[in-house]
Amino acid sequence: MELNIAVLAGDGIGPEVIDQAIKVSDAIAKKYNHKINWKPALTGAAAIDAVGEPYPDETHTICEAADAILFGAIGHPRFDNDPSAKVRPEQGLLKMREKLGLFANVRPTFTFPSLIDKSPLKRERIEGTDFIILRELTGGVYFGKRGRLDNGNTAYDTMTYTREEIKRLAIKGFELAMTRSKKLCCVDKANVLESSRLWRETVQAMEKDYPEVTVSYEFVDAVAMRLVQWPSEYDVLITENLFGDILTDEASVISGSMGLMPSASVGTDNKLYEPIHGSYPQAAGKDIANPLATILSVAMLFEDFRLTKEAQAIRDVVNKSLAEGVVTEDLADGRKSYKTSEVGDWLVKNI
């Protein structure tokens, strides 16, 4: 197979972890006779510096033309501490999600046998944890009407959803549940929010189309609690944008390191893969960041192109590196640690 992949390395540790993911992907491609054409493009603070905006049209054109997009991270402290900044890297991320129609964000949480004791939760709580949060990504309060009233002394943001937006996300949830344990949890706040009542109503009406799937409806506050109490009880969860943002950060620490969790954002025409972690500016340029979340994101990419053996080969070699302690300092626990690039080299050698 020949794949054209747009590479948006972005800011902070983005370029370093992306470099390792490219090395590993090329090694897999070589082993299984594929060809990957990488098309780099600017995004984030790096793009603001170069052309004055975080998601330039040229980048959008490259993304649209590609079969898939591999994304590093965006964000820079110089914007975080300046509430008056007119352009911010994060705007690029939101614009990209909207313009590429990436309405479903797939964020898995699973554990690694060799890292179970790194989790902040007790072993017996997390053993067997393997769930996926499907977060709606192009609607809700992130994209609703917002503004100021009363001479700037009142501010509002609105959470708006259409039945269609809920339905297309829920279809992905039901379909994913069908390939797994056939359990779907719809996370909302239907005891308070009208938009949540529309979520519930819409998903309830779809149940008859998926008779094998057992659907539960739970309030987001209760899910926030149960996710850390009984994470292994969950399988596929669907939820709106902001709830999903919060729950997926919570979920990402269950495995023991945020540096491990991959994600995909998909729409009708485009697919984007990225690590869950951010740009981690304190580590930028030091060759210490954990590249595994980005590398596991490539495994998700391969999986979506039905390159199942290739995806499994990535997961296997990642597991091997963890088991043998070839890890960056975040996972080393005072033992010998390896540089970002050394982990990448080791993975390539072992592929």
Q: Shortest gap between Cβ of 90 and ligand IPM (angstroms)?
A: 4
Task: Kindly tell me the burial class for residue 76, based on how many C-beta atoms sit within 10 Å of its own C-beta (0-12, 13-18, 19 or more).
Answer: buried
Q: Which is nearer to Mn ion, 136 or 245 (CB)?
A: 245
* Whole-angstrom distance, CA of residue 185 vs CA of residue 172: 13
Site string for Mn ion, 244-273 (x = CB under 5 A): -x----------------------------
Mark out the alpha helices in the chain (DSSP H runs). Answer: 14-31, 44-51, 57-65, 77-80, 89-100, 123-126, 163-179, 194-206, 220-229, 241-252, 292-304, 308-323, 329-332, 340-350
In angstroms, the Cα distances linking 154 to 83, 85, 86, 144, 157 are 17, 21, 21, 16, 11
Pairing status of strand 154-157 against strand 236-239: unpaired
- Binds ligand IPM by CB under 6 A, chosen from 19, 188, 245, 329: 245
Short-list 117, 119, 112, CA closest to 292: 112
DSSP classification of residue 150: G
Q: Which is nearer to ligand IPM, 93 or 215 (CB)?
A: 93
| Residue of minimal Cβ distance to ligand IPM | 90
Quick one: what does residue 90 bind among Mn ion, ligand IPM, none, with the CB cut-off 5 to 8 Å set by partner type? ligand IPM
Q: Shortest gap between Cβ of 93 and ligand IPM (angstroms)?
A: 5
Q: Shortest gap between Cβ of 258 and ligand IPM (angstroms)?
A: 11
Is the Cβ–Cβ distance between 243 and 141 less than 8 Å?
A: no
Q: Does 98 bind ligand IPM (CB under 6 A)?
A: no
Catalytic site residue 142?
yes
Short-list 90, 180, 100, 91, CA closest to 134: 180
Q: Shortest gap between Cβ of 263 and ligand IPM (angstroms)?
A: 8
Catalytic-role residue among 221, 286, 316, 333: 221
Q: Does 93 bind ligand IPM (CB under 6 A)?
A: yes
Q: Which is nearer to ligand IPM, 71 or 302 (CB)?
A: 71
Q: Which is nearer to ligand IPM, 301 or 343 (CB)?
A: 301
Residue 201: both structure tokens together: 């109503």
Catalytic-role residue among 245, 271, 273, 330: 245
Q: Which is nearer to Mn ion, 19 or 245 (CB)?
A: 245
Q: Which is nearer to Mn ion, 142 or 174 (CB)?
A: 142
Quick one: what does residue 93 bind among ligand IPM, Mn ion, none, with the CB cut-off 5 to 8 Å set by partner type? ligand IPM
DSSP conformation letters of 223-245: HHHHHHHSGGG--EEEE-HHHHH
Q: Which residues of 204-241 are buried (b: 16+ CB within 10 A; e: fewer)?
A: eebeeebeebebeebbbeebbeebeeebeebbbbbbbb
Q: Does 16 bind ligand IPM (CB under 6 A)?
A: no
Catalytic site residue 35?
no
Q: Does 16 bind Mn ion (CB under 5 A)?
A: no
With CB under 5 A as the rule, give the number of residues binding Mn ion: 1
DSSP classification of residue 335: S
Catalytic site residue 249?
yes
* Whole-angstrom distance, CA of residue 263 vs CA of residue 106: 6
Q: Does 90 bind ligand IPM (CB under 6 A)?
A: yes
Q: Which is nearer to Mn ion, 240 or 245 (CB)?
A: 245
Site string for Mn ion, 219-248 (x = CB under 5 A): --------------------------x---
Q: Which residues contact ligand IPM by CB under 6 A?
A: 90, 93, 245
Catalytic residue positions?
A: 142, 189, 221, 245, 249
Residues interacting with Mn ion, by CB under 5 A? 245
